[in-house]
Structures are given as structure tokens and as C-alpha cells.
Structure 1
């Protein structure tokens, strides 16, 4: 049975080895290396509360667009599993308590983000800047929706939220400051991947 975890429409698919065993080994190595890149980008952060500004979103968007949906989601899934088991892969640590803390919705939202962007990449968005950017914005919007909903669920115990105006307070603290940052990160990720695709396609 053929191993089809990515497609020729992605950068990873362009450079897949021929044999099934080699493909599987390559995919496993890619997933592990992808988690290392996400971890590195998580450590590049501005420590604001309750959600730090990091380069995780950029890394996950770029990896999902490069790998496709299956490998992209697997990479994020392994990254979250590493964190849940206590490895310090998140912005300020690791552990199950961290995963279910204030940033938990955003961390889990990375899975949905990778799926949306990877789905678009599998269908040819890697070489189309506007299409890929639109997919990244869609994935980022879902990420924010999940993260915001998670924060609202925890709002009763959060000292940083104004309990007289929970929704506006949570939005002002955990969403609004990051909108411009994420627009820039998604634009950079889209340009990086489509630029790499253009170079690869010429070869």
C-alpha cells in the first residue's frame, strides 16, 4: 500500500523519496524536526499576560503549508504531546497543567490552524500567495476563536479579567493586541512558503 501522507502540491511532497519505507522514515523525521522548530519559535517571545507574543503561529503556518494537512497536523499533535508529558516546549515551560491553563485554547487551536492551512496547501495553495495567505488568515481566525472561548471558560478564576465586563476585558487582553502581529506573521509565512515554492518549481 502506498504511503500518501503528503501531496506533490507541497514542498515536502516534491522532495519525498520513492520507496514506501523511505517515505515513512522521512515523514517521521520531518515531524520530529518540525516540533523542534515550533519549540524554538515558542521560545522567541514577548512575555505578556495571559498570552505571550511568540513566533509559534508563524512556524506552524509555514510548516503546515510546507508539509500539507496530514504531516502538519501530526507535527502539531506531537508537539502538544511533548508538552503534555512535561517537556519544556511551550513558551514558558511544559506539563499538563500548562496545556489546560490560560493559553490552552490557543495551543489546541494550533491543530485546527494546521489542518486548515495544510488542506489548502494539499490543493495547490503553496504556489499562490493570495490563496495561501487567505487560508492562513482563516486558520488564524479559528485559532483565535478557540483561544478566546477557552479564556472565557476560565474567566471566573482570572484576576486579569474585569468581572463586570468579561467578554470585552478578555478580548482586550488576549486577542486585540495580537491581531496586527498575527497579520504580519501570516503574511511572512505565506511569502516564505510561496517564495520557496517558486524557487523549487524552477528546478
Structure 2
């Protein structure tokens, strides 16, 4: 737990370097890549380019650390990124995905979250007198331009099966399949605590109460 908390704390100083509201894949430390903004078609190429700069020989037990803050987006790109994460696991290179307090991992981002070796979500707290919300994850069915069809529903089921194979718990998959694409259901603490190798860590900068 201490090691995981330390990872989340170390990640805090790097998020400020990532511009908000833009699709961005950037190496921010020797072992850390920050992903911010909507996931777009072709972003798997940006991801590979950013990860290629990580110094593999210097990695700790946490492996490659991904800081995510994205509303999701193109599911094909997210699945390609997830495939890269899984491929690295097979090669013995772990990946830790971190959703910091104040950050969101929604929609297709959760596919990448599911593929990680270790998943960290930071609980919210107070900093400089302001309340920072806990890291949040949201799931829903797939859609094209906001519209659900028989094809997108079939794709949602197929995606759920893939996520099941990498250890995503049934309650999370149920929320994904039962939530319309225009809604989005937030995963609660029970969902996250029931997910193997997923840890909720304390806020790094909470003020004493």
C-alpha cells in the first residue's frame, strides 16, 4: 500500500505539465506517460511513441505508469492501446494506470484501465481550501455519434467479453452493458475494491481537519 500511495503522490507533480482539453500523450518522467483529453482514432500511434521513450531498464515494480484523465472516445484506439499494455505484460513489463483525484477515466478509457497490471484510484481530499473530488470512472454501452444500434450493442457485448478475459469483475461489466451511451454509470468504491489489483489510495495533499 505504501508503494502504491507513493506512486500516486509522485504522479501529482507531473499532471500540471499536461495541457487540459487536448488529446495528449506525453512522457513526463523516466517511467511515466500522461494521457489527457479525448481518445481519437489513431491515438495508439501517439501512445506507442510516448511509451517508446520510457527507460525500460530503469523501471520499478510498478512498471510503466500511465496517468489518465480522459472522457474516453474512439474505442478502437483504446483497444489498441490496451492490447499494447497486455503485450507488455506478457513480456514481463507491468503497467500501472493511475486515476488521480480530480481526474476522470470514462468510456473507452476504462478499457485501458482494465488491461493494466495494477490500477490505482486516488480518493479526493482538500487542498488549498478547495475540495478535490475522487478520481472517477464511468462506463456505458458503445454508440456511433451517440446512437445505439444492433451493431453497437453486439460490439458492447464483445467488448465486455474481452474485458472479462483480463479480469474485469461482473458488476462492472453489468454496469457497462446496462447503461445507455448517453448516460454513463460511475463505478463506486465497492466496484473498485472488488476488482483484483485495484487500489484506492488516500489523497496526497489533504489538509488536516
With normalisation by structure 1, the TM-score equals 0.30
Higher helix share: 1
With normalisation by structure 2, the TM-score equals 0.29
- Computing the radius of gyration from Cα coordinates, the structure with the larger value is 1
Higher strand share: 2
